[in-house]
A and B are shown apart, each in its own frame.
Chain A
Amino acid sequence: MTNLEQGNGTSRDDLLQRLALMETMIAEGRRNTGRFGWVFILWGLVCLSGIGGSYLWPQSYWVWPILIGSGFLIQFLGIAMHRRSGSWPSDSIKSRSVAAVWRMMGIAIILYAAPATVTHTIHQIAYIAAIFMFLGMAHATSAMILRWRAQGVVAGLWWAGGVATYFVPRDYVIAIYVAEMICCMVLFGVYAMMLERRRAAGALQDQVEHHA
């Protein structure tokens, strides 16, 4: 380690400090994903309701626009409440990077889905596969930034779904869609929220023990 000090001017303490900072940022990033677990659940439920609505009213063009609009409204309200309650996530570099990934993914999906809906291209297999690919890419990037294996597995599931849609008969595509929404949206959201709750409970217990 003395070599390090002489070689490139980086001391062992400095390296340890950097490592600690990196670990703190990664933990913060994961915590923020956990705090936003409800967004995954919300969109999972919106998409599942859309499938149900389309099944009940197959001729209606308004099912998806209404549900997606409601999804946005609920998300904005939820975020506003988050900000008011003071539990808005911290602005570490990793958190900003992950936030950038999800914001841009949201914009990309809107830009892709809106014209596809208007031009009636959403029945194409490549459209559904593409949506799975976008979501998988966002999860994979976030997983790589936060070094989070569970999220990496979710990315793998999205991509596997995207590949599967090309191979299975058309009738099964809807089954893949429902399975993806349940496993990768709702269950992942519940899992992320559970982790965050457990961490918060642990931190509270530590505080109580410290005061005692």
Chain B
Amino acid sequence: MANPEPDSDSKAGTSRDDLVQRLELMEQLIAEGRQTTMRCGWIFVLWGLVDLAGMGWQTELPHSQWVWPTCLGTGVILQVIGLALWKRSRPRCKGVQSRSVQAVWSMMGLAMVIYVFTALFTHFAWQYSYLSALLIIVGLAHAISAMILRWPVQGVVAAIWWAGAVAILVCNSFRAANLIFLIEMCFGMIAFGLYVMWLEGRNHDGLKGARA
């Protein structure tokens, strides 16, 4: 473990070995944090599909008030079941970076639930600022996670979400907003989820190969 106390042997107060040890710890924590995100790739895919299903259903039944509550409720139930199964099969990661990333995503989820359900309940979900805010919140979670894990790919995904949010405000049309949502769900959610699942699979195979 890194020693928080300064080393009296060196002028700067920290020896080279100590610095190397700290750097290794940091790298290990970052790798652990990325691993946690990779293991959760299925959640991105799940929510991408849930949102696409909601959009498709809404096109079929444009006046139904039950489309989004039903879709989002189903998504939450599927995620809870998936997480319960996942926790049983895999040990929990307890690295500092992993905890920070978990904090980001769980608070993003909570903020989203509060914001979305209140807007749906009070019938404000048609406003452009509402649609844009949804993309900003998801982009914010990606951006924080990318900065903590120093992961450029996730940073690019954050930028895609934020670009979509700005575009919705600038375009000011429902057709454009729907198209932007569709693109975001395909690239920011499903494609990113599949990418991290592929990375996780590759790491898993690598580990298996190393053990064999």
Contact = CB atoms under 8 A, between A and B. Distances in A.
B115 A94 contact: no
A74 B107 CA distance: 30
Interface string A123-148: 01111011001101100110011000
Contacts of B80: none
A127 B133 contact: yes
Contact of B118 (A96, A105, A112, A162): A162
- Among B99, B107, B119, B170, chain A packs the most CB atoms within 10 A around the CB of B107
Interface string B146-184: 011000000000100010011001101000000000000
Contacts of A127: 127, 129, 133
Contact of A124 (B114, B129, B137): B129
A136 B111 contact: yes
A93 B26 contact: yes
A105 B1 contact: no
State the 9 A-B residue pairs at the shortest beta-carbon distance, nearest first: A130-B133, A126-B130, A127-B129, A144-B103, A100-B147, A97-B100, A115-B169, A104-B143, A137-B111
Instruction: Give the contact-size bracket for chain A.
Output: 35 or more
Contacts of A24: 4
Given A97-B148, A115-B169, A144-B107, A162 B2 contact: no
State the majority secondary structure of interface residues on A. helix
Interface in B72-127: 96-97, 99-100, 103-104, 106-108, 110-111, 114-115, 118-119, 121-122, 124-125, 127
The contact size tier of chain B is 35 or more
Contacts of B137: 130, 133-134, 137
B4 to A, nearest CB: 5
A166 interface: yes
B48 interface: no
Contacts, number: 143
A145 B119 contact: no
Interface string A91-131: 00110110011011101100110011011011011110110
A75 to B, nearest CB: 19
Nearest to A117: B169
A144 B124 contact: no
Contacts of A104: 140, 143-144, 147, 158
A18 B103 CA distance: 20
Q: Which of B1, B132, B140 has the most CB of A within 10 A?
A: B140
Interface of B: 1-2, 4, 26, 29, 96-97, 99-100, 103-104, 106-108, 110-111, 114-115, 118-119, 121-122, 124-125, 127-130, 132-133, 136-137, 139-140, 143-144, 147-148, 158, 162, 165-166, 169-170, 172
A167 interface: yes
Interface of A: 14, 17-18, 20-22, 24-25, 93-94, 96-97, 100-101, 103-105, 107-108, 111-112, 115-116, 118-119, 121-122, 124-127, 129-130, 133-134, 136-137, 140-141, 144-145, 155, 159, 162-163, 166-167
A104 B100 CA distance: 14
Given A124-B124, A124-B129, A141-B104, 10 more contacts: A21-B1, A94-B96, A94-B100, A115-B170, A126-B119, A127-B133, A129-B124, A140-B107, A141-B103, A163-B118
Contacts of A93: 26, 29, 96-97, 100
B4 A21 contact: yes
